[in-house]
Structure 1
Amino acid sequence: MSIEKKVIQCKKYPITYTLVIKQVKNINMRISPKGEVVVSANPFIPMEKIDDFVSSKISWIIEHQKSVMEQNAKTMISDTHILLFGNDLKIKKSKGKYNHVSYDNQYLYVQMKEGSDIDKVIRQFLDKLCKDVYTDVAMMTHKSLHDYQLPFPQIKIRDMKSRWGSCTPAKNSITLNKKLIHYPFEFIEYVVLHEFVHFIQPNHSKAFYHIIENYMPDYKERMKLVG
C-alpha cells in the first residue's frame, strides 16, 4: 500500500486529496473527520482516471467538506474549552472592570465586565488575533520571497466553508480562513506561503511546488497537520 498527497485543479480552485493505493475493486472516496479528501484505488488504474473521478465529484466534495468543517467548528470552541494553534485550552473566566482575553499553553483567560457576552468577547479576541497573526506571517513570507519582488498584498480574513485560503492576483489580495487560528502555527505558515506562490505560479504545476519546497522543505508534513 502506498499513500501520497495530490492536488488537481477543479473549476475555480484546486482540490487536495490523499491517494491510497491498495487492492480495492473500485475507486472509493471519503471525507475524513478533519475534512480531508481520501481516495483509494488499485495500482492498475491510471492516474488520469483517478483525477477525472475526483474532478467529477467536486460538488459532492464541497458539500461534505462544508458539513465536516461546520461540525468541527462546533468542537473548536465550547463553554469550557477552545482549540488555539492546535492546543486544547481550558477557558478560565473572571470578572473585571473591562473585557480582556489572554492565553498561555494551558488556559484562555477571559476577563469580563458586568453584563458582557462571553461569546462576543472571545469572538472579538479571535478576530483581532487572526488579523495580527496572519498579517505577521504574511510579512515574514513576503520578506522571504524578496527575490520575486512581489508587491505586498491586501490580507483579508473571513469565514470560509471549504477552503483555507484563496489568492486574487488581479486585486493583489489574499483571503485567509478565520478557522486557521485553531490549527498549528506551522500549518498557517504553509497556507500563507501557498497563496503567495500563486502570484508567481497561478496553477498547481510542478514548478509551483518546486517553489513551495524551496522555501518550505517540510511542506508535505505541514499539510498533514490537518489531515
Structure 2
Amino acid sequence: MQIGSIEIEVVSKDIKNMHLRILPPDGRVKISAPYRMNLETIRKFALEKLSWIEKHRAKFLQQKPVRHYEYINGESHYLAGRSYRLRVVDYAGHPKVIIRDQIFIDLLVAKDDDREKRKKVINDWYREQLKLRVPELIKKWEKIIGVEAKEWRIKQMKTRWGSCSIKPRRIWLNLELAKKSDYCLEYVIVHELVHLLEPRHNSRFKAYMDGFMPRWKSYKKELNQGNEALLS
C-alpha cells in the first residue's frame, strides 16, 4: 500500500485489531490487519496515523548506522547499562568472558577464532548474565501484579524487547536487554506480565502500567533510544 511517498507493508493475520509498527533499521512501515478486512479500511487507518508514522520514520532516517561490531580490542560494549572496553585475550582453554577492574570486558578466545566465534562467545555470556538478573525481578513483580508466568525464555529479537504468549503464559525477553540498565529490564518484565491481565495495548493496559510503575514511560523512552517503536 502506498500513502504519499510512504510504502506500507500490509499483512493479514488471525487477530482482532490492526497493529502498526515502524521497524528498524530504516523505518519500514508494517500494518498487521485481521483477515477479511478490506483495504479501504486499512488505508483510512494508515491516513489517520500518518503524522505518527512520519514522526517516527524521521527518527530512523536521522540515526547513524547501527554499529557493526568486529569484536576487537578497544570496542565499547555494554552490560547492565554500563560501558566497558573490550580486550581480546589469547587463551588456550575453553572460551570465556570476564569483567576486569570494572573497566574491561576480557574476551578469552583462541587467537585464530574469527568474528563469528567471538560474537557467539559474547552472546552466550550475555545470555548467562541475563539469566542471573531476571528470576528475582519476575518473582518480585508477579507478587505485585498478582499474576504468574509459567515460564520465561530469552531469544534474539529484531523488532521487540519482549513478548507474551497468553495461553501458555510464557514470556520472551530480547537478549539485547542484557546490555540495558536494571530499570529498563524491569520495565519490559512489568510490561509483559501486565499482558497477562490485559493482552492489548489499550487504555486498560496503560492504566495498569501507570498504577504498577508510574515512571514506565520514561523507562520506555530511554530503552528505545536508537530503537524506536521496538516495544509499543
TM interval, short-chain normalised: 0.5 to 0.7
| SS, match of residue 156 in structure 1 | strand
1:22-171, aligned counterparts within 5 Å? 52-54=48-50, 71-72=65-66, 74=68, 78-79=71-72, 80-84=74-78, 85-98=80-93, 99-103=95-99, 105-113=102-110, 115-117=112-114, 119-134=116-131, 136-146=133-143, 149-171=146-168
* Distance in 1, Cα, partners of 2:210 & 2:148: 22
CA distance in 2, matches of 1:122, 1:15: 29
Question: Is the aligned partner of 1:181 residue 2:178?
Answer: yes
Extract unaligned runs of 5+ from structure 2.
1-14, 30-43, 226-232
The 8 Å contact of residues 84 and 105 in structure 2, kept in 1 or not, is answered as yes
CA contact (8 A) 2:177 2:185 kept: yes
Q: Deviations along 1:45-88, whole A, 9 cap, x unmatched? A: xxx98993259959x96xx97x999x42526x653314313333
RMSD: 4.2
Q: How far apart, in 2, do the equivalents of 1:139 and 1:51 lie?
A: 44
What is the aligned counterpart of 2:196 among 195, 199, 223? 199
Q: CA shift at 1:208, angstroms? A: 1.6
Instruction: Measure how far apart 1:89 and its partner are.
Output: 2.0
Stretch moving more, 175-184 or 143-152: 143-152
2:202 and 2:211 map into 1 onto residues whose CA distance is 14
Q: Residue 34 of structure 1 contacts residue 72 of structure 1 at CA under 8 Å; is this kept in 2?
A: no
- TM-score, normalising length from structure 1? 0.62
Q: For residue 178 of structure 1, report the CA deviation from its aligned partner.
A: 2.0
| Letter aligned with residue 202 of structure 1 | P
Partner residue of 1:220? Answer: 217
Paired residues of 1:164 and 1:191 also in contact (CA < 8 A): yes
CA contact (8 A) 1:89 1:108 kept: yes
| TM-score, normalising length: structure 2 | 0.61
Aligned-pair identity (%) = 20
**Aligned AA (1:87):** R
Instruction: Give, as a single letter, the amino acid of the residue that structure 1 aligns with 2:194.
Output: V
CA contact (8 A) 2:151 2:170 kept: yes
How far residue 183 of structure 1 moved from its aligned partner, in angstroms, is 2.8
What 5-or-longer segments of structure 1 have no aligned partner? 1-8, 17-30, 38-47
Q: More helix per residue: 1 or 2?
A: 1
**Distance in 2 (alpha carbons) for counterparts of 1:167 and 1:73:** 29
Deviation at 1:222, TM superposition (A): 0.8
What SS is found at the alignment partner of 1:208? helix
**2:96 touches 2:108 (CA, 8 Å); kept in 1?**
yes
User: Structure 1 221/52 Cα, relative in aligned 2: closer, same or farther at 3 Å?
Assistant: same
2:169 to 169, 172, 195: 172
Shift of 1:194: 0.5
Is the Cα–Cα contact under 8 Å of residues 112 and 118 in structure 1 kept in the other structure? no
Q: CA deviation at 1:109?
A: 0.8
- Give 1:201's aligned amino acid: E
Query: Residues 90-132 of structure 1: CA distance to partner in whole angstroms, max 9, x if unpaired?
Result: 1112223322202254211112245434642442332343354
